[in-house]
Structure 1
Amino acid sequence: MAHIPAHSDPARQGAPTTSSRYELLTLGDELLLGLTANAHLTWIGAQLGRRGVQLQRNVTVTDEADAIAAQFRESWARADVVITTGGLGPTCDDRTREVLAAVLGQKLVFDPRTEEAIRARFAKFQRVPTANNLKQAYRFERGEVLPNANGTAPGLWVEQEGKLLIMLPGPPNELQPMFTEQVIPRLAARGKLSDQEAYIQIRSIGIGESALETMFECTFSRSPGLGIAFCAHQGQVDCRISSPDGRYGMEKLRAIASECAALLGDNLLCFGHDSIAQVVADQLKQQGRTLAVAEASTGGMLANAFADLCGACKFFQGGIVSTSNEAKMLMLECPECLLKQHGAVSPECAVAMASGVAEKLGADYGLAITGFSGPCTGGGENPLGSIYIGLHSPHGDWAKQLTYPGPRAAVKQRAINDAIDWLRREVLKETHRIAAPQVN
């Protein structure tokens, strides 16, 4: 059974832990043109959500000065904390600093320390900053600079009229460390955050959103006023439970979540936000087991799902990408006769890949994916979207066929999720075997 995180404050209620209203303005034509995904919303929203804050609004705004000014005036009138991303760079379309200073009636003043930091960063790469780069050295006269250790555009922190304006650079590798290392501690020091989430999230897999709601309906009906929200994504469904009016404490929410978990059984993935790969990693490390993967149609994405995790070397032996039959024979020792008889897209090949990579890399479990994910078409019994997953475990070898509609990227991601979930369920069986009482 997955563990429900215990909160450090036993008296804490399941309602939002701060009354401050937060709004996020994501700035940039590239977002509105669809050239760049608005990843700042999901990332900042998650960081705040884990600290008892829910963003009330996000607006994406063009780089045009009048549009920025109009939207900021509206947000500033409503919110207690306004966060902006983008528009702090050195070029002519970076206008955020100047526009917001004018709206707030503040002058921009040159900051010698920021100039020094900009010149030092350029010198590190044996370059000299152009004049427009020094535009980034201006700050609000009644504001503070948030130093940027990963770029030249510093963030800006402004407190005015009992409100906060936090301006962040656009590049994620600059924004994210600045937010976690500087913004979060400052917000916490001003009582704008909590160290707790304002809800419990139940993450499920293998069951649809409507079926999940039906499953939980009786449990939820016994707690009037319970806050309930469902979110489906990539074969998983999250259910968040909270107490908007504060009538239920976290102890009660944990009891409700435990009842939901019992209903889900093995379809419970976790409590919280862990990815399916992280859940499997924790299982394998707990059992002292290891994993290796082989893949053809997913091109390394399966291996990356595990290699991206902290401490991957403790359980993940590695992965082999073998798109050609020659590579399968050379690196995975798939028999040539098997490939000729059954083909590379077959249950027999999937099993051979899984057992081959486990033996080759010395792993307890082997997981393999082969198939037609597109854009080339399949043939015969294997139409486009046909995927075979192979699984090797200490207790046997198996394969299963799955067929997915949709574009190549969606087929690949669904295949990876289903493959890892199959592994998760097999490792769970091993957990149950270990926990079962021995009959003498």
Structure 2
Amino acid sequence: MSKTPIIEVINFGDELLVGIRDNSHLVYLGDQLARYGLPIQRSRVITDEKTEIQRAFLDAWEHSDIVITTGGLGPTADDMTRENVAEALGAELLFDQSILDAIEARFKLLGRKVAKHHEKQCYYFSGGEVLHNERGTAPGLLLRRDGKILIMLPGPTQELRPMFEKQAIPILQEMGVLSKEQAYVQLRTCGVGESSVEESLQPIFSNHPGLTVAYCVHYGIVDVRLSSRDGSLSLGQIKEIAHEARELLGEDFVCYGHCSLADVVFHELRALDRTLAVAESCTGGLLCDAFTNIPGSSKVFVGGVVCYCNDVKVSKVGVPEPILEQHGAVSPECAIAMASGIAERLSADYGISVTGFAGPEGGDEKNPVGTIHIGYHSPVGVWAKTVRYTGGRMDVKTRAVHAALDWVRRKLRKYKIEEFLSCGAED
């Protein structure tokens, strides 16, 4: 394709239109494609009805160079995307015995037998390719025809994502459609607002007219993406600008790329060969979840307790009852007691705690709704920090988790610097 290809995504499924499931596929695919310099130009969500499937597909096929579909490849009666698209294209579907063999092998491990309706997943386009499904039974499909590309992906997220990243992206890269290097450099920041980030970095960016800057904000995290839309700056030059920006950001800089705050804290603790425990109240397990999403996190994360009521704070975490009687469960004193208590109970080097009012009810004059107290226990001392947020309950909970992780990140990096300087002074 000599010109920049137009990409359209079609998400098939009645469950998307009636609100049973979020359309996370579009966000995911948009992010993945943009990383390699090819953003999505068009998208639509379509019902599972045959006429709508064919009408939407033919329109996309006429106006776009690459069409990506999600959903409708499974074994049930409403999974008819493959058949309807084939009919619309006038393409022949061929049976692939190896697909059925893979399904049978998978079901054998599960102690189940393959039903007749599973055979519908074993058909692929004549002249096309099969994308292996390592986590499910419905393979993906790829077809190159009329100078265009069709990629069909299964609906389940856990099946779609590895298939797209490990198979579809490499194929598109080999075809020259996607860049083999990421198209932008991203700086991730936390703890400072978007306008402040922009104001501090603008003196650097204004010196480079060919630089394209995009800001993305999510729950206290501000991502700054640097690219050169007109191609006047090389990737090497963009990296140099990013490094200059990093130096200016100081401790507000989290990382390059897309690492989570929990990832950064994990690697800092791993480098120190230290362990961490968590006690959380209003965040209800989100902080623990952030760590257990990291492969190998047991090397650092020893465990946690969701101590939502005061009795659990006392019995499971070791918060002294006088602390609760004198200061209340939502207080800096309780946060410190929770952090220290969980570190001692689980024999961890570090402890993090979160307590507060996530809303919409609760709160008082001293601690209004949105007040969050974070506790931090370390080998060199204990501290508490108070933040306040507005928004819905889930917004406050997510921002509280990010605030806790970001604070620990800053503390750990400061400790590492001080330890390094101390060692240097002794030498």
Same topology, TM > 0.5: yes
Matched, 1:272 2:285: no
| 1:249 shift after superposition | 1.1
In 2: Cα distance, 1:220 partner to 1:149 partner: 44
2:22 to 13, 31, 37: 37
**More displaced 10-residue stretch of structure 1: 421-430 or 322-331:** 322-331
> Which residue is 1:80 aligned to?
65
Q: Contact between 1:226 and 1:242, CA under 8 Å: does it hold in 2?
A: yes
In 1: Cα distance, 2:45 partner to 2:53 partner: 9
1:97 aligned partner, one-letter code: R
1:331 to 300, 305, 316: 316
| 1:314 shift after superposition | 2.1
| 1:414 shift after superposition | 0.9
> Which residue is 1:373 aligned to?
358
For the residue of structure 1 that corresponds to 2:425, the secondary structure is coil
Assess, with a 3 A threshold, how the Cα gap between structure 1 residues 439 and 151 changes in structure 2: closer, same or farther: closer
Q: Contact between 1:155 and 1:166, CA under 8 Å: does it hold in 2?
A: yes
Within 5 Å, give how 1:5-404 maps onto structure 2: 19-374=4-359, 376-404=361-389
> Which residue is 1:438 aligned to?
425
| Residues 112-159 of structure 1: CA deviation (Å, up to 9, x unaligned) | 333444444445444444443322223223323333343332211211
1:381 aligned partner, one-letter code: K
> Which residue is 1:7 aligned to?
none
In 1: Cα distance, 2:144 partner to 2:303 partner: 50
In 2: Cα distance, 1:48 partner to 1:99 partner: 26
| 1:336 shift after superposition | 1.6
1:171 aligned partner, one-letter code: P
| 1:305 shift after superposition | 0.9
Q: Contact between 1:18 and 1:192, CA under 8 Å: does it hold in 2?
A: no
**More displaced 10-residue stretch of structure 1: 41-50 or 99-108:** 41-50
Q: Contact between 2:210 and 2:231, CA under 8 Å: does it hold in 1?
A: no
1:25 aligned partner, one-letter code: I
In 2: Cα distance, 1:160 partner to 1:213 partner: 45
In 2: Cα distance, 1:101 partner to 1:238 partner: 41
| 1:407 shift after superposition | 2.0
| 1:439 shift after superposition | 7.6
**More displaced 10-residue stretch of structure 1: 84-93 or 57-66:** 57-66
In 1: Cα distance, 2:131 partner to 2:182 partner: 26
Q: Contact between 1:136 and 1:154, CA under 8 Å: does it hold in 2?
A: yes
Q: Contact between 1:347 and 1:390, CA under 8 Å: does it hold in 2?
A: yes
1:105 aligned partner, one-letter code: G
- Report sequence identity in percent: 48
In 2: Cα distance, 1:182 partner to 1:254 partner: 28
In 1: Cα distance, 2:278 partner to 2:98 partner: 50
Q: Contact between 1:52 and 1:195, CA under 8 Å: does it hold in 2?
A: no
Greater RCO (CA < 8 Å, at least 6 residues apart): 1
Assess, with a 3 A threshold, how the Cα gap between structure 1 residues 408 and 18 changes in structure 2: closer, same or farther: farther
In 1: Cα distance, 2:125 partner to 2:98 partner: 14
Q: Contact between 2:66 and 2:149, CA under 8 Å: does it hold in 1?
A: yes
In 2: Cα distance, 1:26 partner to 1:406 partner: 30
In 2: Cα distance, 1:419 partner to 1:217 partner: 28
For the residue of structure 2 that corresponds to 1:401, the secondary structure is strand
In 2: Cα distance, 1:318 partner to 1:150 partner: 28
**More displaced 10-residue stretch of structure 1: 331-340 or 52-61:** 52-61
Q: Contact between 1:18 and 1:193, CA under 8 Å: does it hold in 2?
A: no
In 2: Cα distance, 1:77 partner to 1:235 partner: 42
In 2: Cα distance, 1:211 partner to 1:383 partner: 26
Assess, with a 3 A threshold, how the Cα gap between structure 1 residues 424 and 124 changes in structure 2: closer, same or farther: closer
**More displaced 10-residue stretch of structure 1: 147-156 or 413-422:** 147-156
In 2: Cα distance, 1:340 partner to 1:247 partner: 65
Aligned length: 424
| Residues 388-440 of structure 1: CA deviation (Å, up to 9, x unaligned) | 11111233211122222222211111111111111111112112213335289
In 2: Cα distance, 1:202 partner to 1:434 partner: 26
So what's the TM-score if we normalise by structure 2? 0.92
Q: Contact between 2:71 and 2:154, CA under 8 Å: does it hold in 1?
A: yes
So what's the TM-score if we normalise by structure 1? 0.89
| Residues 21-47 of structure 1: CA deviation (Å, up to 9, x unaligned) | 433221112112222111212323333
In 2: Cα distance, 1:168 partner to 1:342 partner: 54
- Where do 5+ consecutive residues of structure 1 fail to align? 1-16
> Which residue is 1:13 aligned to?
none
| 1:353 shift after superposition | 0.7
2:317 aligned partner, one-letter code: L
| 1:382 shift after superposition | 2.6
- Where do 5+ consecutive residues of structure 2 fail to align? none
In 2: Cα distance, 1:18 partner to 1:358 partner: 58
| Residues 321-341 of structure 1: CA deviation (Å, up to 9, x unaligned) | 222222222222211222222
**More displaced 10-residue stretch of structure 1: 41-50 or 359-368:** 41-50
Q: Contact between 2:279 and 2:304, CA under 8 Å: does it hold in 1?
A: yes
| 1:233 shift after superposition | 0.7
